[in-house]
């Protein structure tokens, strides 16, 4: 199997040349001191850690899996040690609040770290990943006391966090959860219920686990407006912040899954466990959205990791593996056959992976610079704009990048031929590990409804227009540049088409709200391809400017432009199918009686 190598040059391109983060940091009071040197040194340290500590235990972790024995979960060999090292290096605390031990760096720096950890070993990266979400939730909604008690420990990495939402009958629909919280005289609550699919719910890496739990108060209204949020630690904290008595929280079993086998997916039983309300009563779902947005960007990143990891594996194989002669004549006549990278059909697979990996990286990093603004700015207007853009792009990034990341992972298998199906080579593991990304943190279908229904149509198109304005500005600024005309022309066409299609669906939805659901998934994929098209055009422009300025790295920049050209010519046409499918409408989905779907 392939050893992971952090794509440092590309990460730097996105952070420094595309997004110019140093300049943006300088304009945000909280991050003004973060300079390029610091960012690069952290990323390089993260690369070493990911390559040397995480990548080597990725496949063994998959083979070994997590073990469950009477409530105790043991992670695979090496996982605990790697986690200790991660904590020691302070990598978990990069973007956390300095008041509680964090380093106060911009979230975009943390995203780069997460990408490298995740590509090297997605299962492992979920343990610190879940803590990250718990930290964000307590930072935003916790009381001062809760912050002191839990944040410090979570940020240090001594304790880890979870997100306890799902119950066996309730996943996409959290309004019908049944876990209960009974108020106690001392202001605490007794939490009872069973949660499933709890990642990092139980393990042997940290001395305590802080569960963030959704449950209903006795007098709560029905549905989503009657859910509250609680902190429920595995061990109750002592007065001095240490680990005290065991709480009524236990792991009932772990799931046997298709992938991410080294990530413990737990059934967690709360049996009159002591919990502490976080945020206002019955507003738990709103508070949880913070956590969920973090998790959604983190999951979008999984798509990028899948594309990058499978691309690395496939590229090295395609350069070495010999099969057949090029149709246009032998390319390696001294060998018994040509390396398969000479074949256009193989290049199509590789370039698709590359376009999704680098385009996805640009998308997620761009999003994370919006998070930088949201968390760091003191300017309310600037924050509002970033927040709106973020709201609009989050479902797109989450669903689109996991869908295309999964496609890329499958291309990795395909490049290897039959060998891709064999576990030893590591390609099929990426497919298995990535499949969950299209499901957890809201399925593709749920994200699609969120985008089209809640974001675009409920804002009467305002959120879309905010985005298409950005694209429009870009087009205006670049239409006259040599080498940009083709990109700009197609992008401008799509930008206009996007608005038209949205209006069409909006009109139909006024007649029948189900039209939203009928169009949603195609709409989301369309949105994803166009958004990534914008990012590729933008990257091509930056690269062309560098070439024009006589950069010594012309090969790197040329490859960027060529990948953009590939994307526009061979990938972006997929938008046509999605537009046509949307226009195919609702009736053909609904006219069949559910009882007549099979005879």
Q: Which residues are catalytic?
A: 441
Residue at token pair 């300095």? 98
Where are the extended beta strands (E) located within 146-215? 159-164, 180-183, 189-199, 208-215
**Site membership for its own copies, residue 7 (CB under 8 A):** yes
* Euclidean distance between CA atoms 461 and 470, whole angstroms: 14
> In which region does residue 78 sit, left (phi positive, over 0), alpha (psi from -120 to 50) or beta (all else)?
left
User: CA torsion, points 268, 269, 274, 280, in degrees to nearest 10?
Assistant: 60
How would DSSP label each residue in 457-481?
ITTTTHHHHHHHHHHHHHHHHHTTS
| Rounded least distance, CB 492 to its own copies, Å | 17
Contact present, 318 and 345 (Cβ < 8 Å) = no
Q: CB-hemisphere CA count at 13 Å for 343? A: 17
Nearest residue (CB) to its own copies, 547 versus 559: 559
For its own copies, what does the binding mask look like between residues 9 and 28, x meaning CB under 8 A?
A: xx------------------
Residue 319 is a binding residue for its own copies (CB under 8 A): yes
Sole binder of its own copies in the list 97, 255, 372, 450 (CB under 8 A): 255
Q: Is 435 in the site for its own copies (CB under 8 A)?
A: yes
Closest C-alpha among 429, 466, 161 to residue 295: 161
Q: Which of 23, 169, 225, 473: binder of its own copies (CB under 8 A)?
A: 169
291: contact with its own copies by CB under 8 A: no
Of 45-53, 163-171, 185-193, 274-282, the window that binds its own copies (rule: CB under 8 A) is 163-171
Question: Is 591 near its own copies (CB under 8 A)?
Answer: yes
Instruction: Determine if 296 is a binding residue for its own copies (CB under 8 A).
Output: no
In sign, the C-alpha dihedral spanning 552, 555, 558, 563 is negative
- CA 42 – CA 44 distance, rounded (Å): 5
The reply on whether position 449 binds its own copies by CB under 8 A is: yes
549 binds its own copies (CB under 8 A): no
Contacts (CB under 8 A) with its own copies, residues 503-522: 512-514, 516-518, 520-521
How many residues sit in the footprint of its own copies (CB under 8 A)?
A: 108
| Minimum CB distance to its own copies smaller for 207 or for 320 | 320
Is 552 a binding residue for its own copies by CB under 8 A? The answer is no
> Which one of residues 83, 197, 276, 474 is an interface residue with its own copies (CB under 8 A)?
197
According to CB under 8 A, which one of 236, 249, 367, 438 is a site residue for its own copies? 438
490 sits near its own copies (criterion: CB under 8 A): no
Q: 510-520 burial, b for 16+ CB within 10 Å, e for fewer?
A: eeeeebbbbbb
State whether residue 160 is helix, strand or coil. Answer: strand
Report the residue number, 214 or 518, with the smaller CB distance to its own copies: 518
Tokens linked to 236: 């109750």
What the block records as the tokens of 524 is 């989301």
Asked if residue 418 binds its own copies (CB under 8 A), the reply is yes
How far, in whole angstroms, is CA 523 from its chain's centroid?
20
Under rule CB under 8 A, residue 44 binds its own copies: no
* Residue 310 Cβ vs its own copies, minimum distance, rounded to whole Å: 13
Phi, psi of 549 (to 5 degrees): -80, 5
Q: Find the shortest distance in angstroms from Cβ 596 to its own copies.
A: 4
- For its own copies, the binding residues in 342-401 under the rule CB under 8 A are 342-351, 354
461 vs 585 by CB, closer to its own copies? 585
Task: Choose, by CB under 8 A, the member of 462, 485, 510, 577 that binds its own copies.
Answer: 577
Q: Contact between 173 and its own copies (CB under 8 A)? A: yes
* Interface with its own copies (CB under 8 A), residue from 118, 420, 528, 533: 420
- Least separation in angstroms between residue 36's CB and its own copies is 19
Binding residue (CB under 8 A) for its own copies from 26, 243, 337, 492:
337
Nearest Cα neighbor of 458 from 531, 521, 392, 504 is 392
Q: By CB under 8 A, is residue 432 in contact with its own copies?
A: yes
Pairing of strands 159-164, 243-246: unpaired
- H or E element: which one contains 244? strand 243-246
Is 320 a binding residue for its own copies by CB under 8 A? The answer is no
């Amino acid at each position: 199997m392939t050893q992971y190598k952090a794509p440092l040059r590309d990460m730097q391109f996105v952070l420094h040349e595309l997004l110019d983060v140093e300049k943006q940091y300088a304009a945000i009071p909280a991050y003004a001191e973060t300079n390029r040197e610091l960012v690069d040194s952290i990323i390089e340290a993260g690369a070493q850690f990911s390559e040397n500590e995480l990548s080597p235990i990725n496949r063994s972790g998959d083979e070994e899996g997590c073990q469950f024995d009477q409530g105790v979960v043991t992670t695979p060999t090496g996982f605990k040690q790697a986690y200790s090292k991660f904590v020691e290096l302070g990598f978990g605390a990069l973007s956390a609040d300095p008041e509680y031990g964090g380093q106060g760096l911009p979230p975009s720096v943390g995203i780069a770290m997460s990408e490298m950890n995740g590509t090297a070993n997605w299962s492992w990266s979920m343990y610190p990943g879940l803590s990250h979400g718990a930290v964000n939730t307590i930072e935003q909604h916790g009381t001062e006391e809760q912050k002191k008690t839990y944040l410090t420990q979570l940020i240090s990495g001594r304790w880890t966090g979870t997100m306890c939402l799902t119950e066996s009958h309730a996943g996409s629909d959290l309004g019908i959860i049944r876990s209960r919280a009974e108020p106690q005289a001392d202001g605490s609550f007794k939490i009872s219920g069973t949660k499933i699919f709890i990642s990092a719910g139980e393990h042997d890496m940290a001395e305590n686990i802080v569960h963030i739990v959704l449950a209903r108060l006795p007098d709560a209204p029905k549905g989503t407006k009657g859910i509250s949020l609680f902190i429920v630690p595995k061990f109750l904290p002592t007065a001095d912040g240490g680990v005290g008595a065991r709480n009524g929280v236990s792991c009932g079993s772990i799931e046997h899954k298709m992938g991410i086998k080294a990530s413990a997916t737990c059934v967690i039983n709360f049996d009159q466990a002591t919990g502490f309300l976080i945020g206002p009563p019955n507003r738990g779902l709103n508070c949880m959205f913070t956590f969920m947005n973090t998790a959604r960007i983190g999951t979008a990143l999984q798509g990028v990791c899948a594309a990058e990891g499978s691309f690395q594996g496939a590229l090295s194989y395609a350069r070495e593996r010999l099969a057949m002669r090029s149709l246009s004549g032998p390319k390696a006549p001294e060998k018994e056959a040509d390396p398969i990278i000479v074949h256009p059909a193989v290049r199509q697979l590789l370039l698709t992976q590359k376009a999704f990996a680098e385009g996805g990286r640009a998308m997620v990093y761009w999003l994370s610079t919006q998070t930088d603004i949201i968390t760091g700015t003191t300017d309310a207007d600037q924050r509002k704009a970033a927040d709106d853009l973020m709201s609009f792009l989050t479902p797109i990034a989450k669903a689109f990048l996991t869908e295309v990341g999964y496609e890329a992972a499958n291309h990795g298998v395909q490049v290897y031929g039959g060998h891709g199906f064999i576990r030893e080579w590591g390609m099929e593991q990426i497919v298995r590990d990535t499949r969950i990304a299209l499901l957890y943190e809201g399925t593709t279908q749920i994200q699609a409804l969120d985008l089209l229904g809640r974001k675009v149509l409920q804002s009467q198109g305002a959120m879309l227009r905010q985005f298409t304005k950005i694209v429009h500005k870009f087009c205006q600024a670049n239409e006259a540049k040599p080498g940009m005309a083709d990109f700009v022309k197609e992008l401008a066409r799509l930008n206009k088409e996007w608005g038209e299609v949205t209006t069409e669906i909006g009109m139909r939805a006024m007649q029948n709200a189900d039209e939203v659901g009928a169009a949603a998934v195609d709409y989301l994929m369309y949105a994803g391809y166009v958004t990534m098209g914008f990012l590729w055009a933008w990257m091509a422009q930056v690269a062309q400017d560098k070439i024009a300025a006589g950069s010594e790295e012309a090969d790197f920049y040329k490859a960027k432009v060529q990948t953009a050209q590939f994307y526009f010519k061979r990938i972006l046409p997929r938008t046509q199918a999605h537009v046509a499918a949307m226009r195919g409408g609702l009736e053909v989905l609904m006219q069949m009686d559910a009882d007549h779907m099979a005879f």
